């Protein structure tokens, strides 16, 4: 996860447990052991693609293990934030298995909440968002939304549909972001390499 995730759970009084990251995602041996033994562990935050801060992408095996793992808490939830699902900085389009689909194979789909938004595609705080979960979980969420939200910003939804149009439109738009961002990242990496490398390893 990242700081906004942590702040939400801390605000509700949850104790957070740090899980070491690997290039394939979280240390799943540790995750599986903890959630199988402790029924007070109620959920986990995940950014499966280009995960903060290392940019790791969860492997297919990691995603399968999330779908199939045993949990002591019957109400355990996986909050799966696809914040960077189309934010590719190279020509390689990385696509990972859909956790909700994988979970259906193990009968664990009620634990999954997948979500994303156009926050880092169009306008932060003024985009549109999407949620994927089981029918049971969707009924739960919709009941809460009915109290929180009187009506959605349909004009903003329409603007996004007309501007982005479809998946190809989204990818074309993100390619424009990439053309602007890559030179900036390259400049930062070059400067860091020049200025910081002589200082030795820096965390």
**85 CB-near residues (< 8 Å, 6+ apart):** 49, 116
At 160-195, the pLDDT tens digits run: 999 999 999 999 999 999 999 999 999 999 998 898
**108 CB-near residues (< 8 Å, 6+ apart):** 67, 68
pTM of this prediction?
0.89
Q: How many CA atoms lie within 13 A of 27 on its CB side?
A: 9
* Three-state secondary-structure class, residue 1: coil
- CATH level 2 (architecture), domain 3-151: 3-Layer(aba) Sandwich (3.40)
The domains of the chain are located at 3-151, 165-203
Query: Residue 42 is encoded by which pair of tokens?
Result: 């109620």
Nearest to 118 by CA among 153, 79, 82, 154: 82
Are 49 and 88 contacting, i.e. CB atoms less than 8 angstroms apart?
no
* Three-state secondary-structure class, residue 113: strand
H helix intervals, the chain: 3-11, 28-37, 60-68, 99-104, 135-148, 154-164, 167-196
Tens-binned pLDDT, residue by residue, of the chain (203 aa): 778 888 999 999 999 999 999 999 999 999 999 999 999 999 999 999 999 888 999 999 999 999 999 999 999 999 999 999 999 988 888 899 999 999 999 999 999 999 999 999 998 889 999 999 999 999 999 999 999 988 889 999 999 999 999 999 999 999 999 999 999 999 999 998 898 888 777 65
Name the DSSP letter for residue 53.
T
């Amino acid at each position: 996860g990242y700081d906004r995730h942590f702040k939400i759970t801390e605000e509700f009084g949850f104790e957070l447990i740090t899980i070491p990251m690997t290039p394939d995602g979280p240390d799943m041996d540790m995750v599986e052991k903890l959630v199988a033994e402790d029924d007070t562990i109620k959920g986990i935050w995940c950014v499966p693609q280009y995960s903060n801060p290392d940019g790791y992408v969860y492997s297919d095996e990691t995603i399968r293990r999330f779908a199939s793992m045993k949990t002591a808490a019957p109400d355990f939830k996986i909050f799966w934030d696809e914040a960077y699902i189309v934010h590719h900085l190279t020509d390689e389009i990385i696509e990972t298995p859909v956790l909700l689909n994988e979970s259906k194979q193990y009968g664990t789909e009620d634990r999954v909440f997948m979500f994303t938004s156009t926050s880092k595609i169009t306008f932060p705080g003024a985009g549109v968002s999407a949620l994927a979960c089981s029918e049971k979980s969707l009924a739960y969420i919709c009941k809460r939304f009915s109290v929180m939200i009187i009506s959605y910003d349909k004009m903003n939804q329409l603007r996004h549909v007309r501007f982005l149009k479809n998946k190809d439109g989204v990818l074309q738009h993100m390619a424009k972001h990439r053309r602007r961002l890559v030179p900036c990242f390259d400049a930062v990496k070059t400067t860091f390499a020049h200025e910081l490398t002589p200082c030795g390893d820096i965390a």
